[in-house]
Chain A
Amino acid sequence: MLTRPHPVLIGFACLVFFFLLAPLVIIIGASVSDTSFLTFPPQGLTLHWYENIFEVSAFKRTMVTSFILAVTGTSLSLIVGIPAAYALNRYRVQLPSFLSTVFVLPILVPEIVLGFSLMKTVTTAMGFPIFVSLVIGHALLVLPYCVRVVSAALSSFDFSIEEAAVSLGCPRWKAFFIIVLPNVRAGVIAAFILALITSINDVSISLFLTGPGISTLPIQLLAHMEQFFDPTIASVSVLLMLVTVGVMAVVELTLGLTFLTK
């Protein structure tokens, strides 16, 4: 039987959880306040600030950009990341060990440094269009998540099943799609979701890569906050939280959230 922690410790933990949630509740409260400035507790009750999200064209536009960018970047990252993760597990003995660290590099280099460097090289020197640079930056940002999460799923996959298919005459590429991929489906979904969220929330990379006419939602939010202090920011934040809730529901249904502590 587990020994119960000291009551003081339990009280402390309750306080911590209160502080984790309170700021988010405050944002929700501020988003329905019938005032032209941010305040809590809300005075009056209105959904005007939610309508305002869709009236401010910059929010509408950047929301679409952020979403397309996240899906494109994540998909690209998975397209190069899944084969890499597969090879790192399947041909582990034949590949030099430094290769697995290559895909951790985007973590070792601070995001803001990567964003700045990409702006200098890819946008300015090579003259890539802004959206292409953003896609490259976001794909790189999420590559470590993709490779590691898919790798983790593959590490418990029994490759002899694949060998069996191949020895029975199934072509190698077909064996990969009908045997390997369905078996690590959960890992691929998890990688996709984690990457999507990371990309949508990213500030440090987009900071340097957004340009005239093209911005992402977090960058637009930062810019808006520096000029205005109205509850629209709060309502956009609540909308983003709803997206998070949706994502968490998907994770819970497919993998179980305890997956995230592993």
Chain B
Amino acid sequence: MTFRQPGWLLVLPATLAVAMFLGIPVFDTFSTTFTDSTGFLSNYEKFFASRFRRAVLWRTTEIALITMIASLLIGFATAYVVSRAPKKLKSLLIIIAVFPLLTGVVVRSFAWLVILGKNGILNQILLSVGVIAEPLSMLYTEGAVIVAMVYLFVPLMILTIVGVLEGIPEDLLQASASLGATPFATFWQVVFPLAMPGLIVGAVLVFTGSFTSYATPQLLGGEQQMMMGTFLRQRAMVTFDWTGASTIAAIMTVVTIIIVLAMGRVARRLNPAAV
């Protein structure tokens, strides 16, 4: 293998761009967290010694996990129905799922601001039905962030899982049915295991997406429900504590990479045929 082959020349510009503008800056961010005069890991000791910071990390993990599980359940059930729908209806449903996905995060989070606000629609409905006497404060709670995040990620989950379900050969389902399996048994013993890799891909996307999100917690969680993303931004741009911000950035990246690698391994074990 020589470096004079054309293949190398063609990948060179993109590789250099990634190395220069991703590799070096991110490496720099990480390395500044280890240069504290009081010790190699003292920035991390400081992070985990603070009750507030631990709470932010825990809240972020909790919200990301709940969002992931809720999106999986809702997405799988919906994707199953979509994949069984007649062809015309199926395309329409896919269009309806793609539309919010292509609409920006800010716009979609903003919608929930209108719905959950003090004078929002939900409060108006609840008041007029007589369930509550006073408007509830639903904004800036963990629940508001979770609802908006689930709304954000369900379309992604539906599309990912529909893609996998479409790939399951019809023959397998017919074989299962003709051998006497109930639709319920066919679902759990044939469809579910075959859909597993898709579910894992979707779960990874949703977990990492919500773990590192910024706009949704900023708009619906505010200062009260700070998550890692909003905390990073506050450290970097409000208090100008770049070392603290770098420590948060490093923790976020490590969690993301661990989740991606671990789930990839689980996916391979469950389905050795998948790449």
Residues of A within 8 A of B (CB): 2-6, 9-10, 12-13, 16-17, 19-21, 23-24, 26-27, 30, 37-40, 79-81, 83-84, 86-88, 90-91, 94-95, 99, 102-103, 105-106, 108-114, 116-122, 136-137, 139-140, 143, 147, 172, 197, 200-201, 203-204, 207-208, 218, 221-222, 225, 233-234, 237, 240-241, 244-245, 247-248, 252, 257-258, 260-262
Q: How far, in Å, is A28 (CB) from chain B's closest CB?
A: 10
Pair B11/A88 contact, Cβ less than 8 Å: yes
- Interchain CA distance A87-B1 in the complex, whole Å: 15
Q: From DSSP, what is the main secondary structure of chain A's interface residues?
A: helix
B111 touching A12, Cβ below 8 Å: no
B91 interface hit (Cβ, 8 Å): yes
When distances are taken between beta carbons in the complex, the residues of chain B under 8 Å from A203 are 104-106, 214-215
Asked if B111 and A10 make an inter-chain contact with CB atoms under 8 angstroms apart, the answer reads no
B14 touching A147, Cβ below 8 Å: yes
Question: SS class of chain B's interface: helix, strand, loop or mixed?
Answer: helix
Q: Is the CB of B84 within 8 A of A5?
A: yes
Indicate which residue in A27, A116, A233 contacts B249 across the interface (CB closer than 8 Å).
A116
Also in contact, A109 and B253, with CB within 8 A (given A20-B97, A117-B29): yes
Do A81 and B14 form a contact, CB below 8 Å, given A122-B21, A208-B236, A237-B107? yes
Whether the pair B81, A5 counts as a contact (CB closer than 8 A) is yes
State in angstroms the CA–CA spacing of A15 and B93 once bound together.
12
- In the bound assembly, the distance between CA atoms of A13 and B97 in angstroms comes to 12
Q: How many A-B residue pairs have CB under 8 A?
A: 252
Are B94 and A260 in contact (CB-based, < 8 A)? yes
Q: How far is the CA of A95 from the CA of B23 in the complex (A)?
A: 20
A122 and B25 contacting across the interface, CB-CB below 8 Å? yes
Q: Is A237 a contact partner of B102 (Cβ separation < 8 A)? A: no
CB of A26 within 8 A of CB of B111, answer yes
Q: Complex: how many Å from CA A38 to CA B23?
A: 44
B114 at the binding interface (Cβ < 8 Å): yes
* Cβ-closest chain A residue relative to B121: A40
Mask for B10-25, Cβ within 8 A of A = 1, else 0?
1101110110011111
Contact partners of B237 in chain A: CB under 8 A: 208
Q: Interface size for chain B: under 10, 10 to 19, 20 to 34, or 35 or more residues? A: 35 or more
Docked pose: A244 CA to B95 CA in angstroms: 12
- Which B70-123 residues have C-beta < 8 A from chain A? 74, 77-78, 80-82, 84, 91, 93-100, 102-108, 110-115, 117, 119, 121
Q: Does B178 contact A (CB under 8 A)?
A: no
The residue of chain B having its C-beta at the shortest distance from the C-beta of A30 within the complex is B114
Chain B residues, CB < 8 A from A84: 10-11, 13-15
Set A19, A88, A248: member contacting B98, Cβ < 8 A: A248
Of the A-B pairs whose beta carbons lie under 8 Å apart in the complex, a sample of 5, sorted by A's number, is A13-B78, A113-B29, A114-B22, A114-B26, A257-B94
Distance from B133 Cβ to chain A, minimum over Cβ atoms (Å):
21
- Which A residues are in CB contact (< 8 Å) with B102? 197, 244, 247-248
State in angstroms the CA–CA spacing of A138 and B158 once bound together. 27
Q: How far is the CA of A4 from the CA of B82 in the complex (A)?
A: 11
In the complex, what's the smallest C-beta–C-beta distance from B106 to chain A, in angstroms? 5
| Residue contact A112 to B214, C-beta cutoff 8 Å | yes
Residues of A within 8 A of B96 (CB): 17, 20-21
Spot the interface stretch: B35-43, B50-58, B159-167, B265-273.
B159-167
Q: Is B7 an interface residue (CB 8 A)?
A: yes
CB nearest neighbor in A for B165: A261
Most buried by A among B13, B14, B154, B162: B14
Which residues of chain B are within 8 angstroms of A12 by Cβ–Cβ distance? 77-78, 81
Closest B residue by C-beta to A3:
B183
**Complex CA distance for A95 and B18, rounded to whole angstroms:** 17
The CA of A89 and the CA of B232, in the complex, are separated in Å by 39
A190 vs chain B, min Cβ distance (A): 13
